[in-house]
Chains A and B, each alone.
Chain A
């Protein structure tokens, strides 16, 4: 396997300038996605997961903008066989190159398939549209391909369902149709934005299996976003833990679950209900609540809620992501003393 990353996000910062002030939704996020790897990004609501992937796809809505950082992607141009390493952050968001990558090489599986399909066009129409945007096929071929895709993702009677509207399908079928649309142009990277939150648990497992199977058949890379650690354990190879727009910890899925390094990751894992825990006891929760985006604490964003808070250190300096062993990295002063301030001063 080629171990050069397919996607490499480096120190990405996406800010929203609002009348009330600047919201630093993504504030220095870095991670790599290797070919064929499933990277899970996990974090509470509002931690910047969605904005991170919207930045990668360059569909951050106004007034959000990428202020700093690189999004390096191994782009395969239509004409040349040679791969090019290009920085998506530097491309024009609605330019030709970015549009050919979006949907063609990087595809999105959205959170709510109900709302992500337009209600006034058939599912088939919308999938065919995606195909014809990126592949040189006729309408007839696109329709044929759509039916095959629907069959591949497990939609029964695809010849009939191709002419159905999204509101005529069940939640699970809708998400399957969305997945069919996402894989329609053989993307090298799939971005799944909480694809299982809007569907019930049994269907959720089926969708996860489907994604796993497709990923293995096509050797696609996946960025999987969720706040559900159970889902992460099922599907991800590698985990990125985010909190308030920053990466807290990264590492292979087994290490993250069995040997978490960052106090935030530990706290998250503790708050998962276990089948072995005594019944009728309170589930441990993380103290406090997520700060308002305008009132970001100075220093480490997690320090007000952290059990290992070190006064005079964590609330003064901001830790950066550093390797703590061969596989994991964490941004915490428990493991190293490198602060962002000292880095920028150099």
Chain B
């Protein structure tokens, strides 16, 4: 097991290197660069820019150099811990994204916990009571959950909260805490606000996860080892939780890897609608203005999270299923 984890850890830097190249190619892919969109912006506001000025800007940002040199310069800075300056915001990127990143990870974590705590029991109960009222109720509920876009749910809930309770549920903080430094009061305030976006974001995933759990468990419940465990005199609940659930949960665990990036990108619309200070809207804006170092940093962080998530899910899978452990060693 330890050997398996070490092997995976050694792979990490290599994966991150490949991903950083992909990230760089991705942010370079749209035609033009930051200066192009900057000039377009200036032109639309009526001021003209001459070619000398444009060239000076390009040279200043290093945009006149070949792509691979730009990449190595960028990587060089990142390896020393310097994410660079945002061209658009004219501020250090680290300063720009650190709080947003923290809030996004927290929101992701809460959504994840909500999703699993709700979906797994629903899946188990639906499978063990197949075709019961409970099962049918959650089948309908889950389809509605999957079919409704999350921003729609967000809008409806916000409207309901505003109309009937007179509260505005946007943002992650009360007005007095928005720009305040971190304190105990701010954390409590965050916890008071974060559950609603977490529930909204988790709705879709919960429904999906519950369906997958139900289907997996139904397959496992038919296996002969169930009959054998019953013949041993085990109580039904104990045996369901010990034997089939452990195998049925397996495919769900393997999705943990994509989970964090999915929450990041999936939350863009909800974050915009609910005015959440998360990283999604910032990525969107940086891509529009071709703020390449900001976009690159965010995409790189996404990728790092995906790689770490996959590592976590691989370790969990190996722990859950000894067959995977043996195969690797």
Contact = CB atoms under 8 A, between A and B. Distances in A.
B50 interface: no
A108 B247 CA distance: 24
Contacts of A120: 243, 246-247, 320-323
Contacts of B230: 57, 59, 102
A168 B146 CA distance: 42
Interface in B106-120: none
B10 interface: no
A134 interface: yes
Q: Is the interface of B mostly helix, strand, loop or mixed?
A: helix
A107 B231 CA distance: 7
A112 B231 contact: no
B66 interface: no
A145 to B, nearest CB: 15
A99 B321 contact: no
A288 to B, nearest CB: 31
A59 B231 contact: yes
A59 B233 contact: no
A110 B228 contact: yes
Interface string A113-137: 0011111110000000110011000
Given A115-B224, A120-B247, A103 B320 contact: no
A104 interface: yes
B163 interface: no
Interface in B224-255: 224-225, 227-236, 242-243, 246-247
Contacts of A239: none
A99 B233 contact: yes
Given A165-B322, A167-B323, A117 B228 contact: yes
A165 B325 CA distance: 12
B90 interface: no
Given A118-B243, A120-B246, A120-B322, A112 B224 contact: yes
Contacts of A101: 233
Contacts of A130: 232-233
Contact of A116 (B225, B234, B236, B320): B225
Contact of A102 (B231, B321, B326): B231
A111 B224 CA distance: 9
A222 to B, nearest CB: 15
B234 A108 contact: no
A229 to B, nearest CB: 25
A59 B231 CA distance: 7
Contacts of A59: 227, 230-231
User: Number of contact residues on B: which range applies?
Assistant: 20 to 34
A102 B239 CA distance: 14
Contacts of B236: 94
Output the residue of B229, B231, B323 with the most chain A CB within 10 A.
B231
A194 to B, nearest CB: 12
Given A120-B321, A165-B322, A115 B225 contact: yes
B227 A133 contact: no
B323 A119 contact: yes
Contacts of B322: 119-120, 165
Given A120-B247, A120-B320, A108 B228 contact: yes
A228 to B, nearest CB: 20
A117 B231 contact: no
A167 B327 CA distance: 12
A57 B228 CA distance: 11
A137 to B, nearest CB: 15
A111 B228 CA distance: 10
A94 B235 contact: yes
A117 B232 contact: no
Interface string A168-203: 100000000000010000000000000000000000
Contacts of B320: 120
B243 A110 contact: no
A4 to B, nearest CB: 25
Output the residue of B224, B225, B243, B326 with the most chain A CB within 10 A.
B225
Given A120-B320, A167-B323, A115 B232 contact: no
Nearest to A122: B322
Contacts of A111: 224
Contacts of B321: 119-120
Nearest to A100: B233
A64 to B, nearest CB: 13
A93 to B, nearest CB: 9
Given A116-B227, A118-B225, A120-B246, A133 B323 contact: no
A73 to B, nearest CB: 14
A133 B228 contact: no
Given A120-B247, A120-B321, A167-B323, A99 B225 contact: no
Contacts of B232: 102-103, 107, 129-130, 133, 181
A116 B232 CA distance: 11
30 contacts: A57-B230, A59-B227, A59-B231, A61-B227, A99-B235, A100-B233, A102-B231, A102-B232, A103-B234, A107-B231, A108-B228, A110-B224, A110-B227, A110-B231, A111-B224, A116-B224, A116-B228, A117-B225, A118-B247, A120-B243, A120-B320, A120-B321, A120-B322, A129-B232, A130-B233, A133-B234, A165-B322, A165-B326, A167-B323, A181-B232
Interface of B: 223-225, 227-236, 242-243, 246-247, 320-323, 326
Given A57-B231, A94-B235, A116-B224, 16 more contacts: A99-B233, A100-B233, A101-B233, A102-B231, A102-B233, A107-B231, A110-B227, A116-B227, A119-B321, A120-B246, A120-B247, A129-B232, A129-B234, A165-B322, A165-B323, A181-B232
3 A-B pairs with least C-beta separation: A103-B233, A108-B231, A103-B232
